[in-house]
């Protein structure tokens, strides 16, 4: 009977092998779970930061007001850049001043185009005219 017990008992190397297999089987799902939880935490942090940034959007500066207004008016990205370039070159305090009237856009765009080559100036004035018609349909 003792002989059968000794034969039935696993050897030391078999026991170590079983323990290491059991450890890896348990450790792998825990590692996977930790990576999953870290990913969820990062996603929640990103969503929270975005919501916080949207809530803190203030209209206190002219540039942020210009950005909000042009988005509401559906002015394209390149047209916004163009308005900023015109305002910067004309030394206006803000590109927001170009949105006051169609005449303001036309006046400052003409002065801006005067420093350009005539073909480039014609293309610029065409873009400005299209933008003016969209922003001020009655003018």
Q: How far apart are CA 87 and CA 26, in angstroms?
A: 64
Q: Are 75 and 131 in contact (CB under 8 A)?
A: yes
Q: How far apart are CA 74 and CA 72, in angstroms?
A: 5
Alpha-carbon torsion 97, 103, 106, 111, what sign? Answer: negative
pTM exceeding the 0.75 threshold for the entire prediction: no
Please indicate, yes or no, whether residues 113 and 95 belong to a single structural domain of this protein: yes
Return mean pLDDT, the chain.
82
Please indicate, yes or no, whether residues 67 and 124 belong to a single structural domain of this protein: yes
Write out pLDDT tens, residues 77-116: 999 999 999 999 999 998 988 988 889 999 999 999 998 8
SS3 118: helix
Please indicate, yes or no, whether residues 70 and 29 belong to a single structural domain of this protein: no
**Which among 71, 70, 74 is positioned nearest to 83, based on CA atoms?**
70
């Amino acid at each position: 009977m003792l002989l059968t017990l000794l034969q039935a008992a696993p050897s030391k190397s078999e026991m170590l092998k079983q323990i290491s297999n059991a450890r890896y089987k348990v450790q792998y799902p825990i590692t996977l779970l930790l990576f999953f939880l870290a990913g969820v935490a990062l996603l929640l942090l990103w969503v929270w930061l975005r919501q916080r940034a949207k809530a803190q959007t203030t209209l206190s500066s002219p540039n942020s007001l210009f950005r909000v207004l042009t988005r509401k008016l559906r002015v394209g990205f390149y047209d916004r850049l163009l308005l900023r370039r015109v305002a910067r070159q004309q030394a206006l305090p803000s590109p927001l001043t170009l949105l006051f009237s169609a005449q303001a856009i036309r006046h400052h765009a003409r002065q801006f185009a005067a420093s350009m080559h005539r073909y480039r100036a014609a293309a610029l004035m065409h873009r400005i005219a299209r933008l003016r018609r969209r922003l001020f349909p009655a003018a």
